[in-house]
Every structure is written in structure tokens, then in C-alpha cells.
């Protein structure tokens, strides 16, 4: 019995009804021979799909099968990803990557681009929308870098909860809190920021052009919102290291190229082993080798 060489199969577990075309194309372009796309995946129905992935090929061949968890809802994706890894046992496991709504690859790309232009130690970084899925990950990636991170959110309570969590886990960076709706607090914080990263909800402007460029210390502004209007007024979605009033600016599409590279490299790397779990920090580490 002669079978063709083993194909690289990516099992796409998407929490949305229609599995993402974007993730599927990226997977194909990253070298997956086949993408098995599933929509409406939840922690319950994921178990059977994972069993199907780990019980077919022998342990030595399992590196040719991998799982990608995606969809627009990051919390649902996290729950599916947890269930996926819990369903493995012993050598019966495949590599898995979680990137719902592009949250992990986008945060990795933003922090990596910022690190090109800034030395984070003693740097004041203001993160807008910091308690959202991408913002949280940006803060998490900044935490070991020795920066002074200001967690800005519409909810002071959520911001404080995040800061406590980050401070318990990391000693390098220091954290403070800013309530976005409090104008005095916000303006004061902007004044002393060296970098601003905005990752608020799509289409919601965070601050005006005037406020953004009012800071004498500002060196870098990254807006991760791709849907107009901009989160940071004055930053265009296509900005890519664009100098605006002496500030290096990046928009969502400007960050998108690196985000895509990270996603492709990650998919490619999934097929090198059967025991990788790619979440926020692993994807960032992998990303640092790309620059």
C-alpha cells in the first residue's frame, strides 16, 4: 500500500458561524496543504474535532496536523483553546495557535514595531482601550520590558483589575491607571507619554489630533483601529513609520504587514512539532525573530 507524502493539515476552529476567509487564505499561503474549516465551534463540540485530529496519525506524524483557533470573539476563542489543550494527553497532541480577531498577532506586531523605535526602559507608554482584547495583550507584552505603562480605559475599575494582575506577574514594568473619560487625567497622561498605542473598539475615536500632538515628549503613535474614523485622529490607517509633526505614526494597515508575517510564520512553525501552543507571548517571541 503506497500513500502519497503526508499532507500538512490545519484544522481551523472558528467560533463564528462562517469560518474566517482571512485566516484560511493566510494558512494556505503559509504552506498548509489543506485547511479543514469549522464554524460555530464551542468548547463542547471542539472535543470531538480535537480527538479526530489526534487519533488518526501516529505520534511521529502528528506534527503534520495542527489546530488554529479563531473567530471574532476573543473570549470564546480563549475558552475553545483551553478545551483544545485539555483534550490532549501524552503524545496524542498537535500544535495549536490561538488568534481570535487577530488579537495576538496584532498585539505582537504593535509592540514589536514600537520596540524598533523606542527603548522601553524608563519609557512612558500610554495604552488606550487597554482592557479590550488587543489592549490587554499589548500591556501583557510590555510588562516584562521595564516600561512605565499607563492602562487607559473607559472603566477605571477594569483598568485597576488589569494592573493588579500584571503587577503580580511581572516586576520589570510599572503600571498606572487612566480613566479615558476624565479629561484632566487623560490630558495630563498624554503630556508625559513617549508612546501612545490605541486599541479601542473599531470606529470609536479616542482623542483629537490636537490632544495627540500636544505632547512634547511623544515619539511614537500607533492606532490599531482599521475602521474609520481613526482611534487617534491625525493618524491614517495606512501610516507606516510616517513622520507627523516629529511623531512616528503607524495605522492599522501599516501594522498589518508585520501582523500578517507573524501569522504566516506562526502557521509555518506549527508544522515543525506537535507540542507547540502559540498564544500571546509565544507569538511575540516568534515575531522578534522576524525583524
User: What are the Cα distances from residue 18, in Å, to 84, 98, 223?
Assistant: 20, 17, 28
If the CB atoms of residues 41 and 149 are measured against a copy of itself, the closer one turns out to be: 41
Sign of CA dihedral 87, 103, 200, 14: negative
Residue 48 touches a copy of itself, criterion: CB under 8 A: yes
- Least distance in Å: CB of 275 to a copy of itself? 19
Residues 6 or more apart in contact with residue 209 via CB below 8 angstroms: 233, 234
- What distance in Å separates the CA atoms of residue 274 and residue 76, rounded to the nearest whole number? 24
- Least distance in Å: CB of 65 to a copy of itself? 7
CB 180 within 8 A of CB 186: yes
Residues 53-92 that bind a copy of itself (CB under 8 A): 53, 55-57, 65
User: For a copy of itself, which residue of 10, 11, 74, 110 counts as binding (CB under 8 A)?
Assistant: 11
- What distance in Å separates the CA atoms of residue 91 and residue 89, rounded to the nearest whole number? 6
Residue 272 touches a copy of itself, criterion: CB under 8 A: no
- Least distance in Å: CB of 33 to a copy of itself? 8
**Would strands 34-38 and 65-70 be described as parallel, antiparallel, or unpaired?**
unpaired
Which DSSP state fits 102? G
If the CB atoms of residues 88 and 175 are measured against a copy of itself, the closer one turns out to be: 88
Residue 137 touches a copy of itself, criterion: CB under 8 A: no
If the CB atoms of residues 65 and 136 are measured against a copy of itself, the closer one turns out to be: 65
Q: What would the DSSP string read from start to end of 110-143?
A: HHHHHHHH---TT-EEEEETTTSHHHHHHHHHHG
- Least distance in Å: CB of 6 to a copy of itself? 7
- What distance in Å separates the CA atoms of residue 61 and residue 55, rounded to the nearest whole number? 11
Neighbours of 169 (CB within 10 A): 10
Closest-CA residue to 189 (of 231, 127, 258): 127
- The one segment of 74-82, 121-129, 182-190, 262-270 that binds a copy of itself by CB under 8 A: 262-270
- Least distance in Å: CB of 260 to a copy of itself? 7
If the CB atoms of residues 139 and 252 are measured against a copy of itself, the closer one turns out to be: 252
- Least distance in Å: CB of 24 to a copy of itself? 6
- The one segment of 40-48, 188-196, 215-223, 279-287 that binds a copy of itself by CB under 8 A: 40-48
- Least distance in Å: CB of 90 to a copy of itself? 11
Residue 260 touches a copy of itself, criterion: CB under 8 A: yes
**Would strands 34-38 and 9-14 be described as parallel, antiparallel, or unpaired?**
parallel
- Which residues would be at the binding site for a copy of itself (CB under 8 A)? 1, 3-4, 6-7, 9, 11, 17-18, 20-26, 28-31, 34-38, 40-41, 45, 48-53, 55-57, 65, 256, 260-261, 264-265, 268, 290
Amino acid at each position: 500500500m503506497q500513500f502519497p507524502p503526508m499532507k500538512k493539515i490545519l484544522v481551523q476552529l472558528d467560533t463564528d458561524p462562517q469560518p474566517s476567509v482571512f485566516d484560511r487564505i493566510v494558512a494556505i499561503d503559509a504552506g498548509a496543504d489543506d485547511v479543514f474549516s469549522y464554524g460555530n465551534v464551542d468548547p463542547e463540540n471542539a472535543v470531538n474535532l480535537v480527538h479526530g485530529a489526534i487519533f488518526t496519525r501516529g505520534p511521529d506524524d502528528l506534527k503534520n496536523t495542527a489546530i488554529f483557533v479563531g473567530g471574532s470573539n476573543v473570549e470564546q476563542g480563549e475558552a475553545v483553546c483551553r478545551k483544545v489543550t485539555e483534550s490532549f494527553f501524552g503524545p496524542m497532541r498537535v500544535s495549536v495557535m490561538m488568534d481570535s480577531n487577530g488579537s495576538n498577532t496584532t498585539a505582537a506586531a504593535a509592540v514589536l514595531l514600537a520596540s524598533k523605535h523606542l527603548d522601553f526602559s524608563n519609557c512612558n507608554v500610554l495604552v488606550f482601550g487597554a482592557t479590550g482584547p488587543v489592549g490587554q495583550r499589548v500591556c501583557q507584552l510590555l510588562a516584562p520590558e521595564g516600561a512605565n505603562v499607563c492602562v487607559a480605559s473607559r472603566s477605571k475599575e477594569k483598568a485597576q483589575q488589569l494592573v493588579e494582575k500584571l503587577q503580580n506577574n511581572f516586576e520589570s514594568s510599572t503600571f498606572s491607571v487612566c480613566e479615558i473619560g476624565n479629561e484632566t487625567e487623560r490630558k495630563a497622561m498624554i503630556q508625559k507619554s513617549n508612546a501612545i498605542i490605541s486599541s479601542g473598539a473599531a470606529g470609536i475615536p479616542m482623542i483629537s489630533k490636537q490632544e495627540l500632538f500636544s505632547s512634547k515628549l511623544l515619539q511614537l503613535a500607533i492606532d490599531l483601529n482599521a475602521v474609520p474614523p481613526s482611534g487617534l485622529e491625525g493618524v491614517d490607517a495606512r501610516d507606516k513609520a510616517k513622520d507627523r509633526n516629529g511623531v512616528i505614526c503607524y495605522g492599522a494597515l501599516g501594522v498589518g504587514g508585520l501582523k500578517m508575517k507573524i501569522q504566516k510564520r506562526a502557521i509555518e512553525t506549527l508544522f515543525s512539532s506537535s507540542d507547540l501552543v502559540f498564544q500571546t507571548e509565544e507569538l511575540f517571541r516568534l515575531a522578534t525573530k522576524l525583524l
